[in-house]
């Protein structure tokens, strides 16, 4: 019996604390944000970012990195605002094909042992190209149900919060509690030992990519539900935001150490950083910079915590 | 025959061959007309990719995980601040350049500082840095579009002996990079670190110093490119660096530099830059839109990496 928290919980501590501190600061600056509508406004745009972050996290769980996330989410948004609205059946078929393409990428990357950064870099051009073909100029219309879903007003807790908790729970169940999730993280931890244990690393990687594609599709649809129309460049920022979100949430680039709950918290923190500055009356010019600064501060905190933990262990 | 074999063994030959094929295919459509103009345009626009690509190549050579994502933000900030400082005054050209390069040095120092102090992967350190630098650029720019000094605008857009000045600058950069990489101790150190950091450390190579210098070099080249690009296009814009993030990585990969690090080559950067620009103009000539151009570019990058990795697999 000892009172030490499991390391999984410790890893979540810093992201959770940073989000709480930031939220407290926002409430202190602007007490009116502490309401149903206020919270919804603060976190509305976090929902698609959280979904994209979970997608990026799945790729990072198998030691790869997806530089096409933003382009892919933009592409999905364009499909959702055109085909999914006009001819739903065809729209769903296209999105299914896109998910299959993601799984196929996983297969190719694994079979030929390609650097995922370069392959996804190439794919980012492809997705943007397809999106430009679909919507050369901003436009289209969100499917009614997506619009309804994103603007729904559940009792007591605003939609943005409900959705974030749901995303975190689903991610947690899949990645931390299912045998598929264990396999995926195992590939990130030690590919060879997973293979020797008789599992198919190829299937695990393809599965992780396919699932990431599915989450990214959800992100694109959620984004269109919020913005009502789409544009080929609508989500290009998501590539970098999703990577930053995973890292903020306690994930690592290698070793299969990821945390779905942390990833959602990371996405929420990044979204909140922008609002925090505008409440401080600092010019919106510095919004992106604040996201960078928060990233640096949280990583510095994590380094500190790791050092403390190591010292404890050595004792 | 022997010469052919020697050439075929060079990783950069493929990008040059591809560039030549695309050039021919484009000129064939226009029936020979515009061949000169096409070459000039290709040399000019490839020059910018060469300058940033060279910096990125040095960083990528350091080994897996080394990449600089702050390139576009650095370009934008350097271009914006330099133009603001010069304020259309021909006498301020040199101070403007110095300030642009100083910004590059500052960003590079910041990048490596974050990597080293926070012990975080370069990709996330340069990403955080790029957020901050981009914000600084937005703050200084404020939607102003200041014209470059007339002499500088003239220099960047004209040619000497029918060779665009930008291409000459990029050629100089490439030659210096080649000498650094192939003939200097520093270049040997980079390659050694890229092949095995642990071995390099045991061999007594100053690993930290070399990596530090490399990140600074990459940021300085990005700043130089931003300065020139801003003058070339008649003013700095906030999104002027955006396309160079992917471009800088793409030219390195297509040019035959190993993504795993420790093996790089300079001529390939030129071949790949020319190739990527020529593909765009070829598809333009064929009347294909922006969407198809992007898709083709993407498929080419993936195709090259699939073929390149296959080649390596056969001869380990």
Cβ separation B306–A295 shorter than 8 A: no
**CA–CA–CA angle B53, B58, B61 (5° rounding):** 115
Of A60-64, A186-190, B13-17, minimum mean pLDDT range? B13-17
Phi and psi angles of residue B274, each rounded to the nearest 5 degrees, phi first: -60, -45
State whether residue A295 sits within 8 Å of chain B by CB. yes
The more confident residue out of B227 and B11 is: B227
Could you report the per-residue pLDDT of A266-309, keeping only the tens digit for each? 999 888 887 777 777 777 777 777 778 877 887 787 777 777 77
Mean pLDDT for the stretch of residues B188-194: 84
pLDDT for residue B79 is more than 70: yes
Contact present, B58 and B174 (Cβ < 8 Å): no
Q: Which residue of B has its CA nearest to A232?
A: B291
Is the pLDDT reported for residue A103 higher than 60? yes
Judge whether residue B2 has pLDDT over 70: no
**Separation in Å, CA of B231 to nearest CA in chain A:** 24
Q: Could you read off the pLDDT of A250-273 as tens digits, one per residue? A: 887 777 788 889 899 999 988 888
| pLDDT score of A53 | 94
- B/e letters for B74-108, b = 16+ CB within 10 Å, e = fewer, are bbbbbbbbbbbbbeeeeebbeebbebbbebbebbb
Number of other residues whose CB lies within 10 A of the CB of residue A151: 13
Flag whether residue B291 sits within 8 Å of chain A, measured between CB atoms: yes
Q: Give the rounded percent of residues in chain A with a pLDDT score beyond 70.
A: 96
A291 touching B, CB under 8 A?
A: yes
**CB–CB contacts below 8 A, A to B:** 140
Model confidence pLDDT, tens digit, residues B297-307: 888 878 877 87
Selected for mutation to probe chain A from B61, B113, B116, B131 (highest A CB count within 10 Å) is B131
Q: What is the DSSP string of B50-105?
A: HHHHHHHHHHHHT-TT---TTHHHHHHHHHHHHHHHHTT-GGGHHHHHHHHHHHHH
* CA dihedral over B135, B139, B140, B143, signed as positive or negative: positive
pLDDT range class, residue A181, cuts 50, 70, 90 = confident
- For the residues A111-133, what does the mean pLDDT come to? 87
**What is the pLDDT, as a whole number, of residue B272?**
85
pLDDT score at A190 = 83
Greater model confidence, A291 or A22: A22
In this structure, are residues A237 and A45 in contact, taking their beta carbons and an 8 Å threshold? no
Is A300 an interface residue toward B (CB < 8 Å)? yes
B135: pLDDT strictly greater than 70: yes
Which residues on A lie below 8 Å from B246 (Cβ)? Answer: 67, 121, 124-125
Residue A3 has pLDDT above 70, yes or no: no
Q: What is the average per-residue pLDDT within B31-45?
A: 77
pLDDT band at A1 (very low <50, low <70, confident <90, very high): very low
Q: Which residues of A191-205 are buried (b: 16+ CB within 10 A; e: fewer)?
A: beebeeeebebebbb
- Tell whether B238 is within 8 A of chain A (Cβ): no
Residue whose tokens read 């642990």: B198
pLDDT tens digits for range A226-242: 888 888 888 888 888 89
Q: What is the mean pLDDT of residues A22-49?
A: 84
* A65 and B CB contact within 8 Å: yes
Candidate from B131, B291, B310 with C-beta closest to A289 = B131
Residue B23 has pLDDT above 70, yes or no: yes
Contact B131/A288, CB-based, under 8 Å?
Answer: yes
Model confidence band, residue B1 (pLDDT cutoffs 50, 70, 90)? low
**Structure confidence at residue B316 as a pLDDT band (50, 70, 90):** very low
What is the pLDDT, as a whole number, of residue B63?
78
**Number of residues written out for chain A:** 315
Percentage of chain A exceeding pLDDT 90: 24
Confidence grade of residue B127 (pLDDT, cut at 50, 70, 90): confident
Mutate to test the interface with A, among B72, B124, B140, B260 (most CBs of A within 10 A): B124
Quote the minimal CA–CA distance from B162 to chain A in Å: 33
Query: Residues B286, B29: contact at Cβ < 8 Å?
Result: yes
Residue B177 C-alpha, separation from nearest chain A C-alpha, in angstroms: 23
Most confident of A129-138, B77-86, B237-246: A129-138
Residue A73 — very low, low, confident or very high, per pLDDT cuts 50/70/90? very high
Average model confidence (pLDDT) across chain A: 85
A96 has a pLDDT exceeding 90: yes
Q: Which of B124, B139, B301 sits opposite A125 (nearest CB)?
A: B301
B124 contacts A295? CB cut-off 8 A? yes
In B, which residues are within 8 Å of A288 by CB distance?
131, 134-135, 138
The predicted model gives B53-59 an average pLDDT of 89
- A314 pLDDT band (50/70/90 cuts)? low
Going from the N-terminus, what domains does chain B have, and what CATH number goes with each? 9-314 (1.10.3470)
Residues of A in contact with B136 (CB under 8 A): 289
The reply to whether residue A244 touches residue B310, judged by beta carbons under 8 angstroms, is no
User: Which CA distances in Å does A80 have to A66, A213, A228?
Assistant: 22, 15, 10
What pLDDT is attached to residue A63? 85
Q: Quick one: pLDDT at residue B312?
A: 47
Looking at every residue in chain B, the average pLDDT score rounds to 81
A305 touches chain B (CB under 8 A): no
Search chain B and give the residue with CA nearest A303: B118
Q: What is the mean pLDDT of residues A171-188?
A: 87
Contact B305/A117, CB-based, under 8 Å?
no
Of B209 and B2, the one with more pLDDT: B209
Residue A155, CA atoms < 13 Å, CB-side half-sphere: 0
Pick the more confident residue, B101 or A34: B101
Decide: residue A233, CB within 10 A, 0-12 exposed, 13-18 middle, 19+ buried. middle
In A, minimum Cα distance to B125 occurs at: A296
To the nearest whole angstrom, how far is the Cα of B148 from the nearest Cα of chain A?
24
Band of the pLDDT at B94, cuts 50, 70, 90?
A: confident
A33 vs B229, residue with greater confidence = B229
Tens of pLDDT, residues A134-152: 888 888 888 888 888 888 8
Contact A125 B69 (CB under 8 A): no
Q: How does residue B315 score in pLDDT terms, banded at 50, 70 and 90?
A: very low
Whether the pLDDT of residue A115 is over 60: the answer is yes
- For B236-273, the pLDDT digits (tens) are 777 787 788 888 888 888 887 777 777 778 888 888 88
Please answer yes or no on whether B301 and A122 come within 8 Å at the CB atom: yes
């Amino acid at each position: 019996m000892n009172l030490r928290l499991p390391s999984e919980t410790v890893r979540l501590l810093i992201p959770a604390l940073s989000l709480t501190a930031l939220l407290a600061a926002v409430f202190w600056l602007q007490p009116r944000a502490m309401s149903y509508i206020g919270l919804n406004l603060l976190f509305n745009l976090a929902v698609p970012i959280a979904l994209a972050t979970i997608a990026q996290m799945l790729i990072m769980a198998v030691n790869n990195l997806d530089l096409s996330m933003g382009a892919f989410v933009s592409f999905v948004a364009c499909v959702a605002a055109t085909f999914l609205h006009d001819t739903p059946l065809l729209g769903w078929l296209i999105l299914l094909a896109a998910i299959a393409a993601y799984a196929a990428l996983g297969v190719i990357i694994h079979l030929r042992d390609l650097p995922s950064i370069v392959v996804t870099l190439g794919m980012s051009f492809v997705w943007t190209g397809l999106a430009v073909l679909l919507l050369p100029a901003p436009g289209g219309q969100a499917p009614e149900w997506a619009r309804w879903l994103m603007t729904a007003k559940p009792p007591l807790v605003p939609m943005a919060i409900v959705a974030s908790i749901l995303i975190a729970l689903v991610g947690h169940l899949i990645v931390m509690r299912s045998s598929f999730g264990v396999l995926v993280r195992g590939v990130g931890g030690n590919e060879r030992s997973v293979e020797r244990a008789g599992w198919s690393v190829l299937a695990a990687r393809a599965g992780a990519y396919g699932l990431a594609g599915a989450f990214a599709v959800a992100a694109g649809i959620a984004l269109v539900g919020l913005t009502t129309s789409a544009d080929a460049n609508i989500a290009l920022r998501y590539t970098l935001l999703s990577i930053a979100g995973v890292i903020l949430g306690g994930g690592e680039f290698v070793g299969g150490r990821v945390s779905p709950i942390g990833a959602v918290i990371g996405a929420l923190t990044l979204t909140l950083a922008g609002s925090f500055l505008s409440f401080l009356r600092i010019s919106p010019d510095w919004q992106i910079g604040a996201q960078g600064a928060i990233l640096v501060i949280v990583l510095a905190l994590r380094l500190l915590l790791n050092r403390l933990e190591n010292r404890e262990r050595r004792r | 025959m022997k010469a052919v074999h020697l050439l075929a063994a060079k990783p950069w030959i493929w990008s040059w061959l591809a560039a030549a094929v695309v050039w021919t295919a484009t000129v064939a459509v226009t029936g020979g007309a515009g061949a000169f103009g096409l070459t000039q345009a290709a040399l000019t626009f490839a020059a910018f990719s060469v300058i940033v690509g060279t910096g990125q190549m040095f960083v990528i050579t350091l080994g897996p995980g080394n990449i600089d994502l702050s390139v576009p933000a650095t370009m934008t900030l350097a271009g914006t601040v330099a133009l603001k400082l010069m304020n259309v005054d021909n006498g301020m050209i040199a101070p403007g350049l110095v300030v642009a390069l100083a910004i590059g040095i500052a960003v590079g120092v910041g990048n490596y500082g974050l990597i080293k102090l926070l012990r975080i992967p370069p990709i996330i350190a340069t990403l955080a840095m790029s957020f901050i630098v981009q914000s600084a650029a937005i703050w200084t720019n404020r939607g102003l579009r200041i014209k470059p000094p007339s002499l500088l605008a003239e220099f960047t857009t004209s040619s000497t002996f029918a060779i665009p000045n930008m291409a000459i600058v990029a050629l100089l950069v490439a030659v210096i990079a080649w000498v650094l990489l192939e003939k200097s101790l520093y270049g040997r150190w980079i390659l050694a670190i890229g092949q095995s950091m642990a071995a390099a450390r045991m061999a007594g190579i100053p690993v930290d110093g070399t990596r530090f210098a490399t990140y600074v070099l990459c940021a300085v080249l990005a700043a130089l490119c931003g300065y020139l690009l801003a003058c070339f296009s008649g003013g700095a814009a906030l999104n002027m660096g955006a396309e160079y993030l992917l471009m800088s990585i793409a030219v390195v990969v297509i040019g035959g530099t190993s993504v795993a690090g420790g093996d790089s080559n300079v001529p390939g950067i030129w071949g790949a830059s020319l190739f990527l620009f020529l593909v765009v103009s070829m598809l333009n000539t064929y009347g294909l839109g922006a969407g198809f151009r992007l898709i083709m570019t993407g498929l080419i990058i993936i195709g090259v990496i699939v073929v390149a990795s296959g080649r390596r697999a056969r001869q380990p």
